[in-house]
Structure 1
Amino acid sequence: MENDMDFNTYLVSKKIDPAKFKQAEGDTYQKLEAAFLQSHPASFTAQKLFLINPIRRKYMLSEETTEAPSKPKMMFKPKMK
């Protein structure tokens, strides 16, 4: 099965720094990349969740590299009657 997302983009979406991860644990990176390329991202996440969480804690993506602008949330105020 082919997916549109590459492994580095997937890691960034999971808040994992791909460069740090690949440099520190190249063998694990290659094994996970091979498994990722053979499955859908959602299926990969379900299968490897217990591996992804510790990796995220070790190689946390810094806040300055993520470019998602934050929008203020709309707050609803109750009307007094």
Structure 2
Amino acid sequence: MEFEAYLTSKKIDPETFQKADNARFQEWRSIFETMHPESFTAHKKFLINEIRRRYHLKED
């Protein structure tokens, strides 16, 4: 699974996230590439919720 697809599945807008907080985006991408998506979710659970509130994916 690609990192951007993962973010979309978590209802996080990857473009907005990358533009607003590129350092964290790149850090998370490199960590994501080294672990299973479920492990990444468990590792970043509370931070994912914070990021989701900031960069919520607009649904059509």
- Give, in angstroms, the shift of residue 17 of structure 1: 0.2
User: For residue 8 of structure 1, what is the aligned residue in structure 2?
Assistant: 4
Equivalent position of 1:43 in the other structure = 39
Query: Are 1:22 and 2:6 matched, yes or no?
Result: no
* Per-residue deviation, 1:27: 0.2
Structure with the higher fraction of residues in helix conformation: 2
Match for 1:56 among 42, 52, 57?
52
Task: Mark the structure with the bigger radius of gyration.
Answer: 1
Say how many residue pairs are matched: 60
CA distance in structure 1 between the aligned counterparts of 2:4 and 2:13, rounded to whole angstroms: 8
List gaps (5 residues or longer) in structure 1: 65-81
Equivalent AA in structure 2 for residue 50 of structure 1? F
TM-score, normalised via structure 2 length: 0.98
